[in-house]
Structure 1
């Protein structure tokens, strides 16, 4: 499961980010990195019940609701890698606004725009 997780993690989040996270692990967090790779990215992200695209949609909503901007930034990039569009991401964040509140959506839109960049289309 570790190898499957490493493959999934690299494909979604980017090899540079993942290799840096694992390469910078020390005695304090190396077990954490191994568990995240094996359990989260191997056991769960390898399941056939949802596509990567669907998992990204769900993750964006949950991470926004939990107000985890660092993880949101990472998963917006991953969502793009999994085929979501700017409009898909916008729709998720609008849904977050309704069910989790405007403050959660304000921060989430800000973080997403950092990743997506600003477009001049209005």
Structure 2
């Protein structure tokens, strides 16, 4: 889906309540578009580990406007499945698609820096 609001509408249809009940969670999943404005932003939160992170952040359940508790994990799974072809990948699925570059694995020895340089 192209916008968190549409995910929120989908949640309201599925779990009851109104879109605003779910919007904060769906915004959180898509905040990474600030850094990368195409589907690759999903690698940061659209996976099983991201769903559990959402649960830690928003709590185990939210109470929608109908007074009904809705598991945050279910909301996260719905979001990820709508964006990832009906499945919930894990983080390894995303990371395994990264093409290694030399700069990614080349360490730099910082032993010559003073304590002041390291702390700043």
Q: Which TM-score band (shorter chain)?
A: 0.3 to 0.5
TM-score, length basis structure 1: 0.37
- Looking at secondary structure, tell me which structure has more strand per residue: 2
Greater radius of gyration (CA): 2
Q: Greater relative contact order: 1 or 2 (C-alpha under 8 angstroms, separation 6 or more)?
A: 1
